[in-house]
Amino acid sequence: MALKKCCIIALVAIMVMVLSVGSSTAVADPLSSGPPESSSGLHTGWMTELGGDNITYNRTYEYYIPTGYTGSEEVPLLFSFHGLGSNGIDQIDLTKFDVLAEQEGFIAVFPNATVLDPEDYPEAELPPLPGAEIQWNLGAGSLQYYAGIDDVGFVADMVDWFGDNYNIDASRIYSTGMSDGALFSYLLAFNLTDTFAGIAPVCGPMPWGFGNPTTTPITVILMHGTADQILYYNGYGGMGGNVTYSVDETIAYWCGVDNTTTGPVETVWGPTISDGTVVHRYVYSGGTNGTEVILYKVQGGGHTWPGGPLYSPFVGAVTTHIDGSALIWKHLPPLKYYLTIRSTSGGSVTIPGERTFFYEPSSNSTQVSLTAVPDSNCRFVNWTWTLNEGSIGNATAATTTITITPEQDYEITANFIAQYDLTIDSTDGGDVTIPGEGTYTYDTGTVVNLVATPASGYSFWEWTGSGTVANTYIATTTITMNGDYSIRANFASTAPSGDGCFIATAAYGTSTAKQLDVLREFRDDVLLKSTVGSRLVDLYYQVSPPIADFISEHSVVRTLVRELLIDPIVWLVEATGDIWQNLG
């Protein structure tokens, strides 16, 4: 969805503030309509509708026919209405109801609202930004209201058109929508009574003034984020008071309409390390004709479709704990149960695949085969579950089964972990005894113990290579695997070097040894040419041998002497070379 359109969707809050619901709209037949498509896939339909002042409008809609549709059996019909500034194609991208329609065998319809010119209706109260000219006619304030756009009639005509041209189950017609489309779903429920078996508004509490005491009980599924800054969870204050009920008031209203007798029954998802939102589902059941009222309260969720894409950086968080479209389909009557299969990064579930599988209530258990396949340089860890444990044959086997108990929902995840190679070798003078020398494979995050053992006459010097060794100057240490690493244990001879010169001993076998010539030059050209300097050199050679013997046996001390004493002295002598070299 283009960023421009996404930002325009955010204007729905401003628009709702100026909406006041007018009288119910009369429903008229279309003047003309396009032919039905018999092939499966996505199609564009159209019909000509009459608006105010006898102006005709060409109304369009996208619709998806599943591959398995033959017309021999009745199929459900689901409408999904886009938000302000959006369109039917964007709604498909947001909800993926076309994918679910293919899987479950229903026809999905994605209507387009009208696009009007603000200059034609100067009395309309619109934000000074592009896109507000695209919305559903919810009442006074919008261009559609002043243009006399009959959106309710448009939907009624689509219902009739699909009923005339396809084998539709009239008891399974549903409406869902996002934001402005969510508000429109309530309007349809009140004006097309006995048409819809259920509605599923997402990011839209019920507007004031829509209530109709004679409304037929229907199943209502409301999904809303508590951090929604466009249509507030607690209702929206506007001109003349609140323009929308709060989410809790909306739920209470529909529980009264449906006369629910049981609930709420709560289910919780989250949080996780990667997703801080928490989803609370509250199910109120036992309503008239088996109707239910279901609230998905997304703690920390924004103005977003649960499980959908983050279509704009300005609309808040998307929860990844649930698939909003799949759960809407679950609750739309008749009630269905499901098995959702996911995987972490590092692999995939190839049998039966990764998606939500629905099944009708049954008295028999069902066994489902599972096969998880890791990617290259990864391995399968185990199966875990987030909703009902179920009966997995072997939770640590990549190929196993799960037994589905009747009237239960299941959500399972195949977990994978990345693996990395650690290559180890050593210089002459010793070996790496733990874990050994060669190439070893470890799971990411594994802490590997390292032990370097010097041969007789040698001492451990340091670890070099890639990766971060906990202590490079200790023979017994560790390395944590977060990538492919290659390390080497370096050893050095313990024989004193330089006739008992501890400086030469400390530098032996390192790059510092190559820099000792400058110290020898300083000794010969400066120190030995003065009485005081000569005495200092004599004193050094008297005390140096025992120090050299000591540090040759203690690699840590040897390293400290080199790095804290010798290296700074070498640097200082080199830095002042232009001065002392010209003294003579």
Q: Which residues pair with 486 in a beta bridge?
A: 423
pLDDT of residue 23: 37
pLDDT single digits (tens) 252-299: 999 999 999 998 999 999 999 999 999 999 999 999 999 999 999 999
The number of helix segments (H) and strand segments (E) in the chain equals 15, 29
The answer to whether the beta carbons of residues 155 and 181 sit under 8 Å apart is no
pLDDT in tens, 103-160: 999 999 999 999 999 889 888 887 544 578 899 998 877 899 999 999 999 999 999 9
Domain ranges in the chain are 3-335, 347-418, 427-493, 502-580
Q: Which residues of the chain have a pLDDT value below 50?
A: 1-27, 128-129, 238-241, 496-498
How many whole angstroms separate alpha carbon 370 and alpha carbon 367?
10
**Pairing of β 391-392 and β 107-111:** unpaired
Per-residue pLDDT at 107: 98
Nearest partner of 340 among 377, 318, 370, 315, judged by Cα: 370
CA distance linking residue 565 with residue 460, whole number of Å: 20
- Would the CA dihedral through 28, 175, 132, 32 be positive or negative? negative
Instruction: Please report the pLDDT score of residue 495 as a whole number.
Output: 56
Q: Please tell me the predicted confidence (pLDDT) of residue 406.
A: 78
CB 131 within 8 A of CB 85: yes
- Do residues 293 and 251 lie in contact, with contact meaning Cβ atoms separated by under 8 Å? yes
CATH of 3-335, one of 1.20.1560.10, 3.40.50.1820, 3.30.470.20, 3.40.50.970: 3.40.50.1820
Whether 197 contacts 219, CB under 8 Å: yes
DSSP state of 503: H
Q: Give the angle subtended at the CA of 204 by the CAs of 201 and 209, to the nearest 5°.
A: 100
Give the per-residue pLDDT at 11.
38
* Beta partners for residue 168, in sequence order: 75
Handedness of CA 196, 199, 204, 207 (dihedral sign): positive
- How far apart CA 437 and CA 414 sit, in angstroms, is 34
DSSP SS3 for 16: helix
pLDDT at 217: 95
Written as six digits, the tokens of 494 are 């313990």
State which amino acid sits at residue 534: S
Mark residue 397 as left, alpha or beta (left: phi above 0; alpha: psi -120 to 50; beta: remaining).
beta
pLDDT for the residue numbered 22: 39
Tokens at residue 242, please?
């609140």
Cα–Cα nearest to 345, from 395, 421, 273, 414? 414
Q: Phi and psi for 182 in degrees, rounded to 5?
A: -65, -45
Whether residue 447 contacts residue 441, with contact meaning beta carbons closer than 8 Å, is answered with no
